[in-house]
Amino acid sequence: MTLKLSVCIDAVFEGVAETEAIARVADAGIDAIEFWCWWEKDLDSMVAAAEKHSMTIAACCTKFVSLVDPELRPLYIAGLTQSIAAAKQIGCKTLISQVGDFLPGQSRQVQHQSLVDGLIEAAPLLEEAGITLVIEPLNDRVDHKGYYLVGSDEAFEIVGKVNSPNVKVVFDIYHQQISEGDVITRLTKNIDAIGHFHAAGNPGRNELDRGELNYSQIFEAIAQTGFQQHIGLEYWPIRDPDEGIRAVSRMQTRPL
């Protein structure tokens, strides 16, 4: 099996200069990186480093504005417009969007509909730009207490209602293992609605070979679907980060 990997340099190489992190990812044999906040980066230097090492910038985040609050929608769309411009600048085809925390005093139905309506408004901007926005369910038991979108079923329902090829889900295997489990069945059943993956070991959110998740089998299941987008390694390493990502690269290219 061969899958397209990217490394989230903000996590795996936390505290390392972006240009150095890009070089180290390339040295490990992986040809794509991703990161979180484009507005905190020197994008020109990152592009230069990526071009030097023949790297792709696979994904970054859009501005963190709540989608579940309809009053904030103009701010969300403005932030998305800025993020699309930044993505074009760096040749990035995927924007990751969190959706915001649950709003006390409002029903889930109202907040769900706000999410759908906001993404319907965003879709033409994304389609025109040729960029895919992926909304991210997160676990609220360990890492993101109060976050609205936890279950992947609701995320898939939302993008189904939006009905745009440029609005999909980022399926974070670590988060969904904590929230609901049954990850292989869930991801294979809904692969057409997934635009990006994240991967980390559970428990701990460390290297993929630590914990209860069998990533060799998970990667094989993804490969069998014909998935063509990236799997982002978004974890905090316990051992040498360079060896950790080399180990993943070796794991996903050897026959099972």
Residue in 18, 34, 136, 207 annotated catalytic = 136
The b-or-e profile of 76-111 (16+ CB within 10 A means b, else e) is bbebbeebbebbeebebbbbbbbbbbbbeeeeeeeb
Q: What is the pLDDT of residue 250?
A: 87
The b-or-e profile of 234-251 (16+ CB within 10 A means b, else e) is bbebeeebeebbebbbeb
Q: Closest Cα partner for 145 from 119, 175, 183?
A: 175
C-alpha to C-alpha distance for 225 and 213, rounded to whole angstroms: 19
Terminal Cα-to-Cα distance of the chain (whole angstroms) = 8
Q: What is the pLDDT of residue 251?
A: 79
Q: What is the pLDDT of residue 252?
A: 62
Q: 4-251, what's its fold?
A: TIM Barrel (3.20.20)
Catalytic-residue membership of 234: yes
Residues of the chain with pLDDT under 70: 1, 252-256
Residue in 18, 34, 207, 234 annotated catalytic = 234
Structure tokens at 248: 């993943």
Using an 8 Å Cβ cutoff, are 88 and 129 in contact?
A: yes
C-alpha to C-alpha distance for 225 and 27, rounded to whole angstroms: 29
Residue type, 170: V
Label residue 127 left, alpha or beta by phi (over 0 means left) and psi (-120 to 50 means alpha). alpha
Q: What is the pLDDT of residue 255?
A: 42
Catalytic-residue membership of 136: yes
Q: Closest Cα partner for 135 from 174, 103, 108, 162?
A: 162
Structure tokens at 97: 């969007």
Domain ranges of the chain: 4-251
Using an 8 Å Cβ cutoff, are 87 and 62 in contact?
A: no
Q: Quick one: how far is CA 116 from the chain centroid?
A: 19
